[in-house]
Amino acid sequence: MLTFIIKRIVSGITVLIAISCATFFLLYYSGSNIARNILGEYATPDQIVAKEHELGLDRPIIVQFGEWATRAVSGNLGISWFTSQGVAESLLTRLPVTLTLLIVAIICIATFATVIGIAAAVKRGWIDRVVQVGAVLGEAIPSFVLGIIFVTIFAINLGWFPATSSIQPGSTGSAWVLSLALPAIALVVNGLTSTAQQIRSAVIAQLEKDYVRTLRSRGIPETIVLFKHVLRSAAPAGLTVLSLHFIGMLGGVVIIEQIFALPGMGALAVQSTVLGDTPLVMGVVIYTVIIVIIVNLLVDLANGWLNPKVRVS
Amino acid sequence: MKFRPLVVSAAVVAAASLALTGCSGSAAGSGSGSAPTTLTLGVLQNINSFDPAQAHLGHQMQIYQAAYDTLILRESDGTLSPMLATEWKYNDDNTVLTVDLRDDVTFTDGATFDAKAAKANLDHFTEANGPDANQGQSIESVDVVDDDTIDINLSEPDPAMLYYLSQAAGFMGSPDAIGTDGVKTDPVGSGPYVLDKEASVNGSQFTFTKNDDYWNPDLQKYDKVVFKVLTDVTARVNAVVSGQVDATLLDPKTSKQADKKGLKKTSYPVDWQGFLLFDRGGEIAPQLKDVRVRKAINYAFDRQTMLDEALLGEGEITSQVFGKTTDAYIPELDDAYTYDPEKAKDLLAEAGYPDGFTLKMPMPDGTETFMAMAKQQLADVGITVEYSSATFADYVPNIIQGKYSVAWFSIFQGEPWVAIRQMISTDAAYNPFKTTDDEIAGYIDAVHFGGYKSGELAKKVNQYVVDNAWFAPWYRVNQLYYSDDSKVTVEPQIQQAVPNLYNYAPVS
């Protein structure tokens, strides 16, 4: 098990390094006129040169990357070019918003999808058909479209929720709950039906296996067969889908956070990329990759825990 | 225990999310919104730095105005009133500006505002390489005359100097703080409000609370001012319609929702939009060298239809680039080039292009609607437009570097000298090919050295650039500022998309 974890961590670090390099070089060659963007349209050529020198943009890209990487390894992600704020500080104020949103959404998806998926597999009939159709619809409607619909109905017309975030440092718990409700529901609807569909298929596949027939023939109660044996064997498929959803939602929140003006990582990613704020974009990328690596590792561990066969392979 | 693994992992995740929620929720612990009067504004742009020398005009102005006072106060109608400066006077040749200062003002860190502090700020402004550094370009040096008087020595007369001192160049920060790293994220000024760092997230929200020692309580109408940074117009309209912000700037397409909700609309033209025919020397597009071609382009546009279609009629058609509220404005020039495709064709034929020609132009994202109309109308007179896509991040730099012969733009209509330095003089950003001749140079000089008469003298410049078709303006665009008039009264600010912070007052 330990070698397994170490291997995963090493490959995670490799991915992290590769993505950091790629992002840095892409930002550099995207040709944004950073100094001009910071100084605005009236800046003279002299001003631009001075600003580029101040930011170190007049040096070769290898030197710039080397300097950034050296600092990043020691935990210093630098200072945003456009907000003058420390990158780590910016990210740490925004990470809780995004993670809370994602974690709430993923818990809801996991819980409801399991219940619905099992119900569809066991009962079949109309529930099954609803899940099948729902899976197609749920995948087809992007979460940001749902977000816009929800804002119009529940925030503006009915006034039940704030239309834009009221999450800020110092805001109360209820502000968090109300602000996160609509974006979280938009994310949940999108992931719920397809996850339920996966769990349904996995459960059906298990129910057809010989060991189920054996258990049943020995007179073991149906609930124990279902929840102790079948679900445990079917869980890895569900977990994998959930982890894919989680990672997919990391992309989805980019637009969701813009719509709801949530002060999270996604909004920060958009703002900093549009401006070409290299230190901040790099920070967002690194944090996001680390989250993805951790999620994948956790899912692998959970799968191994649920199903010893995975550990061996 | 059946489902142990699942139950445990769910519990762990739930606990983690609660912990995350909990710690951020209680970290600052300042509580929310119990203050008697709070002004919440939806703003379009984040600010780069709270260092006053990095201040930027336009959408960012009001955030700086919360923290910093300017030397001169620009009233909503554009007149200049005393603020930190009580009086000012030019010498005979308009090269030395003597400014008397208040002697009862203290910065929030306890430093005193005096002549030395003012000099330190102006020196810092001219050296700090900020976005509006051009405002300080003509400042050669600043002399401390006595404790509350300074002389600003100009390298040459600057008809916009007093205006600049009401803008970015006029912001006064604590001499102990300006230029330090700390002031970039934590402003130290003498302004009506103080930043509450705990309740602010850079890029998302800035919360300011009342400065209890403020010298001019008349300007301080709220206990708390919150700026919500909402770069997305949909988020802005949602916020103002649902009452989360008291006022914000919208655009014609999104504003219908705010109209339905009965919010108060204030609309007045600030920018002009249209084509800038940069290449009047014919360096990239030789055809543009001929004034008849440039006039033909002007005659080709059906401005009223474009305004109605693209901006739902929110604006006024025009053929001049100077604003209605400035002394350079000439009413007749608004219809100097009325829609006349036949005349355009004749002019093109006279210039030697009876079969038209092809014009290459950039098309920035989001401008597709009216660019398509413009293309159609130019095609109607024989000019084929080939668009290449452009991102806004590179658009302005490319314009300034002279990569485009013609480009669409939306330009602020400022005071005449500001407008001339922006798009007409040879050092103007929007005159990338540095077009000039003796005639226009003479008119510009007259404005430059015209002292108090310079605004009026700019009429000649206006007439010249219209006669020579330097631009092809379409319309002045209305800025649609919406506010909830049951909570706040807002006085519009001349030539500014968003009002000064001083123009808001609670409804009693």
Q: Each residue of B458-484: pLDDT tens digit?
A: 999 999 999 999 999 999 999 899 999
At B2, the pLDDT band (50, 70, 90 cuts) reads: very low
Q: What does the alpha-carbon distance between residue A144 and residue A189 come to, in Å, rounded to a whole number?
A: 11
Residues of B in contact with A31 (CB under 8 A): 394
Hey, is B147 helix, strand or coil?
A: coil
Q: What does the alpha-carbon distance between residue B479 and residue B482 come to, in Å, rounded to a whole number?
A: 10
Query: For residue B29, what is the DSSP state?
Result: -
8 A C-beta contact, residue A64 and residue B181: no
- B306-315: average pLDDT: 91
What count of other Cβ atoms lies within 10 Å of the Cβ of residue A208? 9
Q: What does the alpha-carbon distance between residue B45 and residue A229 come to, in Å, rounded to a whole number?
A: 56
- B204-227: average pLDDT: 94
Q: Which two tokens stand for residue A81?
A: 């070019």
Q: How far B497 CA lies from chain A's nearest CA (Å)?
A: 17
- B130-146: average pLDDT: 93
Residue listed under structure tokens 């020397």: B281
Asked whether the beta carbons of residue A263 and residue B203 sit closer than 8 angstroms, the reply is yes
pLDDT at residue B141 greater than cutoff 60:
yes
Write down the number of H helices and E strands in chain A: 14, 0
At B74, the pLDDT band (50, 70, 90 cuts) reads: very high
Measured over the CA atoms of residue B275, residue B278, residue B284 and residue B288, the dihedral's sign is positive
Hey, is B272 helix, strand or coil?
A: strand
Measured over the CA atoms of residue A22, residue A23, residue A28 and residue A32, the dihedral's sign is positive
At B315, the pLDDT band (50, 70, 90 cuts) reads: very high
pLDDT at residue B53 greater than cutoff 50:
yes
Q: How far A30 CA lies from chain B's nearest CA (Å)?
A: 10
Supply the pTM of this predicted model: 0.85
What is the average pLDDT score of chain B?
Answer: 89
* Percent of chain B surpassing pLDDT 70: 93
Q: Picking from A261-270, B104-113, B282-291, which range would have the lowest pLDDT averaged per residue?
A: A261-270
At B6, the pLDDT band (50, 70, 90 cuts) reads: very low
Residues 33-52 of A with CB under 8 A from B: 33, 36-44, 47, 50-51
8 A C-beta contact, residue B119 and residue B173: no
Asked whether the beta carbons of residue B27 and residue A306 sit closer than 8 angstroms, the reply is no
CA dihedral A39, A45, A46, A47 (to 10 degrees): 0
pLDDT at residue B22 greater than cutoff 50:
no
pLDDT at position B474: 96
Mutate to test the interface with A, among B3, B4, B8, B24 (most CBs of A within 10 A): B24
Q: Which helix (H) or strand (E) holds B229?
A: strand B224-229
Residues 145-174 of A with CB under 8 A from B: 148, 151, 155-156, 159, 162-166, 168-173
pLDDT at position A311: 59
Q: What does the alpha-carbon distance between residue A170 and residue B205 come to, in Å, rounded to a whole number?
A: 12
State which residues of chain A have pLDDT below 50: 313
8 A C-beta contact, residue A255 and residue A101: no
At B233, the pLDDT band (50, 70, 90 cuts) reads: confident
pLDDT at position B11: 44
Q: What are phi and psi of B245, to 5 degrees?
A: -125, 155
Q: How far A194 CA lies from chain B's nearest CA (Å)?
A: 19
Give the best-scoring range by mean pLDDT among B25-29, B115-119, B489-493. B115-119
Residues of B in contact with A51 (CB under 8 A): 129
The one-letter amino acid code at B499 reads: P
3-state DSSP helix/strand/coil % of chain A, to nearest 5: 80, 0, 20
pLDDT at position B7: 41
Measured over the CA atoms of residue A91, residue A48, residue B136 and residue B395, the dihedral's sign is negative
Asked whether the beta carbons of residue B25 and residue A84 sit closer than 8 angstroms, the reply is no
Residue listed under structure tokens 């690596």: A293
pLDDT at position B460: 95
Asked whether the beta carbons of residue B6 and residue A267 sit closer than 8 angstroms, the reply is no
pLDDT at position B9: 44
Q: Picking from A191-205, B207-221, B241-255, which range would have the lowest pLDDT averaged per residue?
A: A191-205
Asked whether the beta carbons of residue B235 and residue A43 sit closer than 8 angstroms, the reply is no
At B57, the pLDDT band (50, 70, 90 cuts) reads: confident
Q: Calculate the alpha carbon distances from B315 to B133, B271, B474 in Å.
A: 31, 10, 10
Give the best-scoring range by mean pLDDT among A232-241, B48-57, B333-342. B333-342
pLDDT at residue B450 greater than cutoff 50:
yes
Asked whether the beta carbons of residue A42 and residue B134 sit closer than 8 angstroms, the reply is yes
Residues of A in contact with B138 (CB under 8 A): none
What count of other Cβ atoms lies within 10 Å of the Cβ of residue B101? 24
What count of other Cβ atoms lies within 10 Å of the Cβ of residue A232? 17
8 A C-beta contact, residue A230 and residue A213: no
pLDDT at position A194: 81
pLDDT at residue B271 greater than cutoff 70:
yes
